[in-house]
Structure 1
Amino acid sequence: METQTPSPPTRARMPGWLPRAMVLALALFGLFLLGDWAFHRLTGILIILLVAFFISLAMEPAVGVLARRGMNRGLATGVVFVVTFACVLGFLAALVTLLVHTVTNLVKEAPRLLDSGVEWVNRRFSQHFTLHDLSQRLLHESETVGNYAQDAANNAWGVSTTVLGGVAQVLVIALFSVYFTAGGPKLRRAVCSVLPPQRQVTVLHAWDLAIVKTGGYLYSRVLLAIISAVVHGVFLALLGLPNAIALGVWFGVIASFVPTIGTYLAAVLPILVALTIDPIDVLWIALFAVFYQFFQDYILQPRITSRTVDVNAAVALIAVLAGGALLGAVGALLAIPATATVQAFLSEYITRYAVTEDPRIDQTASRKNR
């Protein structure tokens, strides 16, 4: 009888698709790492392009008006940007002059303010401080002050580099803003040329909404700034503060373009000026700032922005916080017009239904039934 020898065990063979899948996975992972590296390297440029694009949207209504009246679009863009730059430079020049004047007055009035402060502390807390005692304690702490001064001197190069970098970024943003505004129709044509006709209509509609909301936000803020500058300038002039017009312009710009806390930040400079003249004016300025912030947020601003940037105050605050967390100060400034654009775009595609009367929704319904 013939015996059968057992056949050797067969080895499990690797599926043919597995090596290709592993190579593809490694390639995709490498592309992801490359894209992540490139994105972090190009984040600064992307932010510059985003800011320039929003600035071009804000300038588009004014450029469009001049272009429709027969002016060449490039020339219209130049006129609008030159006027805008002139206003910004004028504001900065007035601000620098105001700051220098305020610091000079504070230095001159510092001895009198210190005497008044020491006298008030002694009278209020039954102490016997003198300026000589304070100067001796300051000299005792001179080592600490010297260390701070040395650190500031060591960081002077870094600060100057940061300032120069900021100026360069502003110039690049201005350059791209001019390009985007002057070539707006060509840019829209280039974008639509790679889209099917139905998508082209949607993109152009969203583009128009962005122009309306961003331009409306800018012009409504300019109107709010003018009103705030006039009101605060008159108030500060009545208090007898010097440079009341310049302080009013400072108040108007900061209070209108810095959301929520702009008025309080703007009040710091007039308060410093008031300290050199009559400290009781500090109280009046602080009270007026609180009153005007309430008046602007709940009465003036809703009436002006209802047809341009109709964003709920709570939604606007959340948008500003989110924009600041993502992109810093730039994101905070662009958050409201971007939110208004998205809100307006979605409102045209979201179906809304009539709400039945219910006391849990509308308190007036329960009052009518009583």
Structure 2
Amino acid sequence: MDRLLGALDAADGQARFVGGAVRDTLLGHEVQDIDIATRLLPDAAMQRLRAVGIKVVPTGIDHGTVTAVLPEGPIEVTTLRRDVSTDGRRATVAFSDDWREDAARRDFTINALYADPATGAIFDYFGGADDLAAGRIRFIGDALQRIAEDHLRILRFFRFHARFGKDAPDPEALAACRARSRDLMALSRERIADELLKLLALPDPAPTIALMIDAGIFSAIIPEIGPDSLARLENLIAHEQATGTAPDAVRRLIAIVPADGDKADAIAARLKLSNAQRKRIGIALGGNDGGPRELLYRWGTISATDRLLLSGLPTERISAGVKLVGTAERPKLPIGGGALVARGLVAGPVVAKALQTVERRWIDEDFPDAARVSAIADEVVAQALRASK
């Protein structure tokens, strides 16, 4: 880090920490990502970093961003800039050397905080430190204009309110989000899904989801989310807390979409979720597969936990089931079709049907050991051979 700051002339005021790293440090939170703003133009920043042996990648050079690859992790370095034009999805920028001008194009006051790397001095142009202390998420300047510049800021507002907000949301910000909610239709579904999953991954997003439903935020993008969704989410969070299960964004998404496999999959497809995520949603909303051990056998730990936490069973039964699937080894049927052929069955549909019978009895007997499964197989094969005569 010292090499990087030295290369960027941070000691001479050419570079400052900015955004989340400053915000989280002030709150005493662990800093996840470090971003640096600099007066240096992108090419100059790259040349200086490479001159001191730092690998640098032009990850977003059109917007002034390069990524320095350090042993402790990547750090984004972005030239100060101002917006030339915006269309709600992307911006055309011009580079600047004015810190306040750079701050003015950011979304919320709490994200427009800068810190001197050498002294730790905070540079706050729009009252972000006071807002942070008060738990107030406030747009910089005119809220409607900020949203017109980037429609995703609607969803970001609610995510930041869920994470940092205290009490009621800023009235101007909420009114602007409500007024421009249909602007979300212009965004790619991938961006919407990414922001929604980040919100759902927070410790307790339910109050904020309630706020969004009341403000009509979902009506233009996921109209299926409504008051019933909120009740399911609240139940899920209560079961997570009761069982000590960590928050899971996809599981919470399953809770707020309709409890109908086809409708839920249509939403997942609309949000461009991955095939793995869509499969997980389908499993969670499938039919009843029996007890926890059978769920673990058929679907594995994650999907078994999904099914249990979303089941609506009494808390005691959910807790016992979640504990079992979280600690037990996934059962494996200790016999295959070849063993049934060796016992005298002819390979083909008869073997497949017999193996299904063996599997069903193994499950019904609560997954006994290989010796018992061998005895079951003997019985099933004998019965199949008698039936074939």
Normalization by structure 2: what TM-score? 0.19
The higher radius of gyration belongs to 1
Larger relative strand fraction? 2
Larger relative helix fraction? 1
Normalization by structure 1: what TM-score? 0.19
